[in-house]
Structure 1
Amino acid sequence: MEKTDPLISLQVSVYALDGNVREAVHCYLDALDASGLARDTGTMSTVVWGEADEVWDGLRKAYEAVAAKHKVVVNVGMSNIAPLPARASGQRE
């Protein structure tokens, strides 16, 4: 089996079902920031990238933080080959 790139990137969207959309999104983003993950947030989603183990740990912590305070759905799409955001250029060759 071919070894995959240790860098992964994910597109994450948080949907609050309790009506507190802004609060839930900011709670999730604050937890991502606390984990030290690189992220690029747009109006509809956030792209997160880094070493796979660090990304998985950060996503778990962010989910636990937001789920403790809000009723949410978190959608995640992931890739080990998708281009990284421009500010991450050079991290994947």
Structure 2
Amino acid sequence: MDNKEIIEFLKKIELFRGLTDDEYQMLMCCVEVKTYRAYQFLFRENGRRENIFIIYEGEVELFKSNPYGVEMKLTYFSKGDFLGEGSWDTETPHS
């Protein structure tokens, strides 16, 4: 995926709508395209917040462990959705 394709994708995401062309170019220095396998973790509960994840393809399920250690599915994300945006404004771990 080249920069032009990434920028066109970002323009469709509400979080990034309305940026200028220069701002999209500046944003590209922070973009890293990654592919994850099924059942691979993006982050873990109580882990350090470091990234925003934007789903280009596929689905991501979000789970939370209950006090007994049983994982409960909270929601899922699909193309165009984003998660981890708390990393922009807080030092608290993933909840």
Query: Larger relative contact order (C-alpha < 8 A, sep ≥ 6)?
Result: 1
TM-score, with length taken from structure 1:
0.29
Where is the strand percentage greater, Structure 1 or Structure 2? Answer: 1
TM-score, with length taken from structure 2:
0.29
Where is the helix percentage greater, Structure 1 or Structure 2? Answer: 1
